[in-house]
Amino acid sequence: MNSKKRIEIFSLLKQSNPDAKTELIYNSPFQLLIAVILSAQATDISVNKATGKLFNAASSAKELSNLSVRTIESYINNIGLYKTKAKNIFLTSKFIDKNYDGAIPHDRVILESLPGVGRKTANVILNTIFGDPVIAVDTHIFRLANRINLAAGNSPLEVEDRLTKLTPKEYLVDAHHLLILHGRYICKAKNPNCSSCIISNLCEYKNKSKKVFSS
C-alpha cells in the first residue's frame, strides 16, 4: 500500500469518526489505567460494568490500595482472570499512591513496570492521557492492519512499529482510536461489514482466507 492511499484511508476514517475515543468509562487517568488493566481478554462493556461497581467503592489509588484483594475480586468477578487482575490492581494502586500520590507518571518504563501493565496498556495511557503519538495494537488493530495491508506484520510489536512508521504524522495521535473502532464495528473478525465500510474502495482485502503482506 502506498502513502497516498494511507493518507486517504485515515482521512476518511477521521471524517467518519471525528471524535474517536476510548469506550472505557473513567473519570481520572488512574481510573483509565485500572480499566485498561481489566480490559485484557475482556470487552469494554464488561469492563465498564465492573468498574462501575469498583469505582463507586474506591475511586482513587489510595482508596483502592486500602481495599483487600478479595474485596476487589468481589467487584470485578464478571471479568476473566479476575483473581490475577485484582492482585495487580491492588499492587499497582499501592505503588501509584505511595510513589506518585495517585497521579499517573508520564514514563513508559515506569508504566510497564507496574503489575498487569505491558506495552499495549502503557501505549493506551501514553496516547489517551498524554497525547503521545503511539499506537496500542490490540486484536482489532492487528487484524485490520494485516487484512487491508495497512501495516502488515506477524506480531503486535511488528505491526506497531510499521504503523508508527507508515501512518501519516497528522493522524498518528488519533490512529489508535480510529483503527480500533473501525475494527470493532466494521472490519470485524467474522463477516466484515464491507458494504458499510467507508474505506472499502481503498481496501486491499481480497477474501477471508488471504492476507496481503506486501508493502
- For residue 66, give the 3-state DSSP assignment: coil
CA-nearest of 65, 36, 71 to 53 is 71
Q: What is the 3-state secondary structure (H, E, C) of 18-45?
A: CCCCCCCCCCCHHHHHHHHHHCCCCCHH
Cα gap 145→4, rounded to integer Å? 16
CA-nearest of 155, 149, 181, 165 to 24 is 181
Instruction: Count how many residues are written for the chain.
Output: 215
Amino acid at 184: R
From the candidates 4, 49, 97, 120, give the one annotated as an active-site residue.
Answer: 120
Amino acid at 210: K
From the candidates 138, 165, 206, 211, give the one annotated as an active-site residue.
Answer: 138
**120 an active-site residue?**
yes
Return the active site residues: 120, 138
